[in-house]
Amino acid sequence: MSELTNASLIATSLAEVKATVARSVVQANRDPDSVQLLAVSKRKPLAAIAAAWKAGQRAFGENYPDEAVEKIQAWQAVHPDRDAQWHYIGAIQSRKAAVIATHFDWVHSVDRLKVAKKLALHRPERRPPLSVCIQVNLDNEVNKSGVAYTEAGELADAITQLPQLQLRGLMSIPAPRENLAEQRAVFRRLSDLLEQLKADHPQVDTLSMGMSADLEAAISEGATIVRVGTAIFGSRDS
Ligand SMILES: *Cc1c(COP(=O)(O)O)cnc(C)c1O
């Protein structure tokens, strides 16, 4: 049984993930409110989102624009009184920038200026600036999304010239590591980069790092948003 669509299973899993986050925050001597849990609901039905919402979850992460917009619109139609925050965390094709800018509150995966400009161009005027993070390719993996470590500063400078976007910080999806020490070492590099960025952009406050398998290491190294799918909603294989 790989699908955890059952509402009570989702509530139980969510509580377990929150407990893990809380434990890691205490171990790291950090403020309990300094880490936000993003529930990654890609390829999960609206019923799964509703189950997590009922259990207190408000922020949801999605990867695929067409699927996500369909779900966001359905959510707003079915539950107009239930506030939820939508975070886009997937790769961005520039032809999808308009729908992403229209329907999301946050975008974690900005990795080139062309996309940043398109998001800015299409951000509806009635909405507040889109919160964005720059995705960094920490392992220099070819064919992986993310700006090179050494180019993040330049992209940050350019993004802050776009009033429709609000630069919030950095995001990364490092390749899996063998052990906690190695996980921490790679997250520390992103944390160091955020500190460097703060010299020119003191408003940045977000480190989006850590998923189901490595959220403890990420919190130890300063993550302010952990993006967790499988540990809340179950496996996506089917
Ligand atoms: C799918 C995904 C996640 C969640 O991964 P899990 O291992 O299921 O927790 C987090 N971040 C991004 C960018 C993803 O694509």
> Is any atom of ligand 1 closer than 6 Å to the C-beta of 191?
no
Which domain range does residue 15 map to? Answer: 7-233
Residue 190 inside a domain? The answer is: yes
> From the CA of 95, how far away is ligand 1's center (Å)?
23
Instruction: State pTM to two decimals.
Output: 0.96
Residue 92 inside a domain? The answer is: yes
> From the CA of 99, how far away is ligand 1's center (Å)?
21
Rounded Cα distance, 164 and 220, in Å: 32
Residue 238 inside a domain? The answer is: no
Residue 2 inside a domain? The answer is: no
> From the CA of 226, how far away is ligand 1's center (Å)?
9
Residue 185 inside a domain? The answer is: yes
pLDDT, tens digit (0-9, with 9 covering 90-100), for 26-80: 999 999 999 999 999 999 999 999 999 999 999 999 999 999 999 999 999 999 9
DSSP H/E element including 63 = none
Which residues, at least 6 apart from 225, have a Cβ–Cβ distance to it below 8 Å?
Answer: 35, 36, 37, 38, 108, 206, 207, 208, 209
Residue 34 inside a domain? The answer is: yes
Residue 1 inside a domain? The answer is: no
> From the CA of 150, how far away is ligand 1's center (Å)?
24
**In the chain, how many domains are there?**
1
Q: Find the CATH number of the domain harbouring 128.
A: 3.20.20.10
Which residues, at least 6 apart from 220, have a Cβ–Cβ distance to it below 8 Å?
Answer: 24, 27, 28, 184, 187
Atom of ligand 1 nearest to the CA of 215: 9
pLDDT, tens digit (0-9, with 9 covering 90-100), for 97-152: 999 999 999 999 999 999 999 999 999 999 999 999 999 999 988 878 999 999 99
> Is any atom of ligand 1 closer than 6 Å to the C-beta of 63?
yes
Query: Which residue, among 213, 203, 141, has the nearest Cα to 182 in the 3D structure?
Result: 213
Rounded Cα distance, 186 and 182, in Å: 6
Q: What pLDDT shows up at residue 5?
A: 53
> Is any atom of ligand 1 closer than 6 Å to the C-beta of 37?
no
> From the CA of 211, how far away is ligand 1's center (Å)?
6
Rounded Cα distance, 131 and 108, in Å: 8
Provide the β-strand partners of residue 200. Answer: none
Alpha-carbon torsion, ordered 223, 148, 109, 144, to 10 deg: -110
Pairing of strands 206-208, 165-171: parallel
Instruction: Name the amino acid, one letter, at 93.
Output: Q
- List the structure tokens of 134: 């720059």
Residue 29 inside a domain? The answer is: yes
> Is any atom of ligand 1 closer than 6 Å to the C-beta of 91?
no
Query: Which residue, among 154, 59, 75, has the nearest Cα to 116 in the 3D structure?
Result: 154
